DNA sequence: GGCCCTCTTTAGGGCCTT
């Protein structure tokens, strides 16, 4: 059981920029303001942030695209450009699913520690060859660590070893994912796990947020991990913004008519950022939508974890129970 | 496929994800 403790300082007045905490939204917002230019792939030292050149091809269709440029809109309708730099260690041979890592989140809460400093929150999205996780494959993954800063994004195409039959949806073609340097899922998973580990706080928790994640992204990810003889690390927790959207729709006077990501983007007046249905573009939109929804719902990090988070094993077990009951 | 809603639960339809 999680301690039912809510950190009131997260619940700041509506229409302030910070919602979850005075930390990560502030960080990401300040970071956006500091980095107003869009950079290419070259390294450099900007605003005292030292950049590191990535070790593998960084063309826009290759693995772990280094540079993300995006536009963000905060509550004050300020639109800024931001660049994030993802470095991925492609020489990863070790597979570190550190099950012995001690997570004492409840204890930390009971000790009244600042939960926002213990939780790493990723917004993520996947593009696939279709809806069926049994027959289809992931062809693109994007993550954004909402703490911001260097290496805060991770983005890569994935070789599905099959024909991409739905390029009209996302613009990702068979040719794009079959080129040299595009990793297969079994090769990508250890890299992904290492990347996430590199962003985790000592003794902290990790929360992945996706839109319709409970029904689509997370089960798809579980299926792909299992197919490649991996398991989702047990300390990864997930949350679904679809659930938050339903809460928004219940609010009296809410004019949100649909729970789709596009409807949420339009509802909050967030401009189109890149091509819809590309993973990182949708991640960028979702990060902003999440900010606004948590503001509207006065939702804290602890509230999100206590009321909306689930683990991969919980999701799998629930699914098995339902299948057995049929 | 999973979730939610309802003209419901002994069920069915709509939405959302690619």
**Measuring from the CA of residue A241 to each C1', which nucleotide is nearest?**
B16
Tell me which residue of A179, A184, A214, A200 sits closest to A57, measured CA to CA: A179
A161-CA/B18-C1' distance, Å: 17
pLDDT on residue A118: 85
Q: pTM for this one?
A: 0.70
pLDDT on residue A7: 24
Helix orientation angle between A218-227 and A312-325, rounded to the nearest 10 degrees:
90
For the stretch A88-145, pLDDT in tens is 333 332 323 333 333 344 444 444 456 667 899 999 999 999 999 888 999 999 999 9
Could you tell me if A164 and A177 are in contact, meaning their C-beta atoms sit under 8 angstroms apart? yes
Residue A154 CB coordination number (10 Å):
28
A40-CA/B1-C1' distance, Å: 41
A113-CA/B15-C1' distance, Å: 39
* Per annotation, catalytic residue among A87, A170, A211, A277: A277
Tell me which residue of A51, A86, A45 sits closest to A65, measured CA to CA: A86
Could you tell me if A293 and A264 are in contact, meaning their C-beta atoms sit under 8 angstroms apart? yes
Kind plus residue range of the DSSP H or E element containing A294: helix A279-296
pLDDT on residue A227: 92
pLDDT in tens, chain A (326 residues): 333 222 222 333 222 223 343 334 433 333 333 322 222 112 222 222 222 222 222 233 334 443 222 322 222 222 222 223 333 333 332 323 333 333 344 444 444 456 667 899 999 999 999 999 888 999 999 999 998 888 899 999 999 999 999 999 999 999 999 999 999 999 999 999 999 999 998 888 899 999 999 999 999 999 999 999 999 999 999 999 999 988 888 776 777 888 899 889 988 999 887 777 889 999 999 999 999 999 888 888 888 888 889 998 887 776 666 655 55
Whether A9 is catalytic is no
pLDDT on residue A323: 57
Instruction: Point out the residue nearest to B14 (C-alpha to C1').
Output: A258
Instruction: Point out the residue nearest to B5 (C-alpha to C1').
Output: A246
d(CA A66, CA A122): 17
d(CA A152, CA A143): 8
**Measuring from the CA of residue A214 to each C1', which nucleotide is nearest?**
B2
Q: Which residue in the block uniquely carries the two structure tokens 């999100």?
A: A304
């Amino acid at each position: 059981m999680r301690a039912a403790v809510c950190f009131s300082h997260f619940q700041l007045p509506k229409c302030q920029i910070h919602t979850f905490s005075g930390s990560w939204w502030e960080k990401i917002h300040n970071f956006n303001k500091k980095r107003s230019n869009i950079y290419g792939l070259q390294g450099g030292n900007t605003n005292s942030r030292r950049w590191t050149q990535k070790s593998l091809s960084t063309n826009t269709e290759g693995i772990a695209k280094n540079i993300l440029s995006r536009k963000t809109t905060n509550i004050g309708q300020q639109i800024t450009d931001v660049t994030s730099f993802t470095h991925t260690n492609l020489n990863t041979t070790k597979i570190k699913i550190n099950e012995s890592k001690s997570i004492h989140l409840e204890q930390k809460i009971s000790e009244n520690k600042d939960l926002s400093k213990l939780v790493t929150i990723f917004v993520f999205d996947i593009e696939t060859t279709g809806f069926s996780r049994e027959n289809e494959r992931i062809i693109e993954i994007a993550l954004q660590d909402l703490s911001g800063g260097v290496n805060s994004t991770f983005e890569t195409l994935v070789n599905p070893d099959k024909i991409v039959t739905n390029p009209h949806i996302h613009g990702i073609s068979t040719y794009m994912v079959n080129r040299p340097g595009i990793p297969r899922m079994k090769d990508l998973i250890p890299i992904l796990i290492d990347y996430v580990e590199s962003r985790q706080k000592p003794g902290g928790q990790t929360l992945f947020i996706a839109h319709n994640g409970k029904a689509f992204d997370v089960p798809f990810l579980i299926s792909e991990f299992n197919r490649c003889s991996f398991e989702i690390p047990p300390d990864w927790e997930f949350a679904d913004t679809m659930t938050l959207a339903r809460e928004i729709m219940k609010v009296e006077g809410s004019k949100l008519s649909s729970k789709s990501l596009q409807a949420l983007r339009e509802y909050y007046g967030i401009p189109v950022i890149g091509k819809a249905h590309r993973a990182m573009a949708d991640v960028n939109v979702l990060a902003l939508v999440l900010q606004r929804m948590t503001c509207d719902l006065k939702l804290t990090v602890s509230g999100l974890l206590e009321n909306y988070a689930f683990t991969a094993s919980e999701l799998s077990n629930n699914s098995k129970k339902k299948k057995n009951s049929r």
